[in-house]
Every structure is written in structure tokens, then in C-alpha cells.
């Protein structure tokens, strides 16, 4: 995460507000909208139809559904691959202008 603190959960929050806040922080960190992340899940092989995946991702972000362990793994893989790609891009020497 980017050092941002997650707000405490109150009794007025949805049942899975803490994992929803973590999920929204992940989306922001990676630069995804809900629709973009749903599209990525489908491209990665989610067999469900488009509308179902869109509703599922929106439900994760709203706290209606708990973010499952499997989704935490997917989030970690995506986060780590993006970090590795960014580090590799920074370590490449800049091309000298001729």
C-alpha cells in the first residue's frame, strides 16, 4: 500500500467494510477502475459472463461481499507484477539522444 491508513470500521459500515477499503486502495494503487479490473479478471480467465463479473467486483468495492482469500492472492500477484515492471523500467539505462 502507499502508506495510507485505512479508516476504522464503525457499526454503520457494510459488513465487510475493512476488506472493501483494502480492495479500493488496491484499485487506486494499481490505477484500475471497477470496470477495468472486472475486464482484467475476464481476460485472465474468469468464466462468468461480463455482467456477473462487473457486479461481483462492484460488490467487493462496496463491502457487500467479503474479499476472498483467492482474490487477495490475485491482488497480490497483480500488485507484485506491476511493482516488478516499474522497478525494471527504472533500472534500464535511458537511451542516449544522438
CA distance 67 to 14: 13
Contact 22, 6 (CB under 8 A): yes
Phi-psi region of 78 (alpha: psi -120 to 50; beta: other; left: phi over 0): alpha
Grid coordinates belonging to 91: 533500472
Half-sphere exposure of 14 (CA within 13 A, CB side): 15
**pLDDT tens-digit map of 17-60:** 888 999 999 999 999 999 999 999 999 999 999 999 999 999 99
pTM for this model (two decimals)? 0.74
Amino acid at each position: 500500500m502507499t502508506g495510507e491508513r485505512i479508516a476504522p470500521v464503525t457499526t454503520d459500515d457494510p459488513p465487510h467494510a475493512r476488506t472493501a477499503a483494502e480492495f479500493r486502495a488496491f484499485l487506486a494503487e494499481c490505477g484500475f477502475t471497477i470496470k477495468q479490473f472486472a475486464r482484467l479478471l475476464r481476460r485472465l480467465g474468469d468464466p462468468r459472463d461480463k455482467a456477473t463479473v462487473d457486479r461481483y467486483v462492484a460488490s467487493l468495492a462496496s463491502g457487500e461481499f467479503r474479499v476472498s482469500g483467492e482474490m487477495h492472492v490475485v491482488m497480490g500477484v497483480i500488485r507484485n507484477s506491476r511493482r516488478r515492471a516499474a522497478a525494471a523500467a527504472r533500472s534500464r539505462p535511458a537511451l542516449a539522444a544522438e
